[in-house]
Amino acid sequence: MKVEIWSDVVCPWCYIGKRRFESALEKFDEDIDVIYRSFELSPDAPRRVPGSMEDMLAAKYGMSAERAKQMLAQVTQAAAAEGLDFDFSSAKTGNTFDAHRVLHFALAEGVQNDVKERLMRAYFVEGRAVAERDELLKIAGEAGLDTAKLAEVLDSDTYAEDVRADIERARRIGVKGVPFILIDGEVGISGAQPPETFLEALKGVQLRREQMRADACNEGMCVSPDE
């Protein structure tokens, strides 16, 4: 089964949703091929957004600093429930386009999940600048990527079109926010839903595939729906 997840490395609910989806997978009895797709929350952001996270939220959404502080506290609490120790006071926000290129390179190298996890932890927990080239190299290297090869990627426009293609596909299928999870190209789930919701969706797709196989066998043939 193939699962595609649109998310951004600086999206807190994407990290929370990642943990919840992983909890669902622990209870699912089929191998899953998970691919992370690119989505930029702030495509026009500079390399480094000045000010604090509270300042950024207040400016972007037209809210008071106090309201922004409350929102961050609520997200921090939700993250803690998933075992994540968010530190928004140290967050260094910036443009994530290059981080998405790194993730496409990681996919080609077979370590995308490890790099995705490392990037999100670096940003939300460790306060590292995931928008900056040198920091991206260090973080990706810690997750197992060849930094010499990655440097060549970052110093070129390699995987830029792949990132744009992910974003355009998200637009075509109606993705308005992230995380957005697409199971086998047929069932979409928006938001950091509880593990039970993800598990129910996975089992639903699994059941439909089994029914397709049974229907084919009943007609005198037995062909896997994957073939």
pLDDT digits (tens, 9 = 90+) for 5-44: 999 999 999 999 999 999 999 999 999 999 999 999 999 9
Whether residue 183 is predicted with pLDDT greater than 60 in this model: the reply is: yes
- Give 34's strand partners: 3
Average pLDDT estimate for 176-187 = 96
Tens of pLDDT, residues 78-99: 999 999 999 999 999 999 999 9
Give Cα 48 distance to the centre of its chain. 21
Q: Delineate the domains of the chain, giving CATH numbers in brackets.
A: 2-192 (3.40.30.10)
| Percent over 70 (pLDDT), the chain | 94
**What pLDDT sits at residue 211?**
85
Tokens of 218: 């009943």
Which amino acid belongs to residue 78?
A: A
The pLDDT value given to residue 48: 87
3-state secondary structure the chain: CEEEEEECCCCHHHHHHHHHHHHHHCCCCCCCEEEEEECCCCCCCCCCCCCCHHHHHHHHHCCCHHHHHHHHHHHHHHHHHCCCCCCHHHCCCCCCHHHHHHHHHHHHHCCHHHHHHHHHHHHHCCCCCCCCHHHHHHHHHHCCCCHHHHHHHHCCCCCHHHHHHHHHHHHHCCCCCCCEEEECCCEEEECCCCHHHHHHHHHHHHHHHHHHHHHHHHCCCCCCCCC
pLDDT tops 70 at residue 189: yes
